[in-house]
Amino acid sequence: MGLAFRYIVFAIASTLANLLLQECVFHISPIMPLATSMAAGTGIGFVIKYVLDKYWIFQDESAGHTEEIKKDHSLRSF
């Protein structure tokens, strides 16, 4: 499966998860259903996209937060 194809599929998957969770939360939230559903949907969409991209787009095999922090972040210095 090509990189571009995976990226498109993952974007669609995270968008669908976002919309599905928004729909569910909107119907069960007793307080501010629109804002709550948007926050929940956006959060799950970001998490799903991050995890899929990390392992399937960037092939990042970091074991945990400590390894993640130790990575070379050379783009930070301008």
Between 20 and 63, residue with greater pLDDT: 20
Retrieve residue 24's tokens. 């569910």
Tell if the pTM clears 0.75, that is, is over it.
Answer: yes
CB-neighbour burial class of residue 37 (10 A; exposed 0-12, middle 13-18, buried 19+): buried
Mean pLDDT of 27-38: 96
Task: State residue 70's pLDDT score.
Answer: 72
Retrieve residue 5's tokens. 């194809």
Task: State residue 44's pLDDT score.
Answer: 98
pLDDT in tens, 38-64: 999 999 999 999 999 999 998 888 777
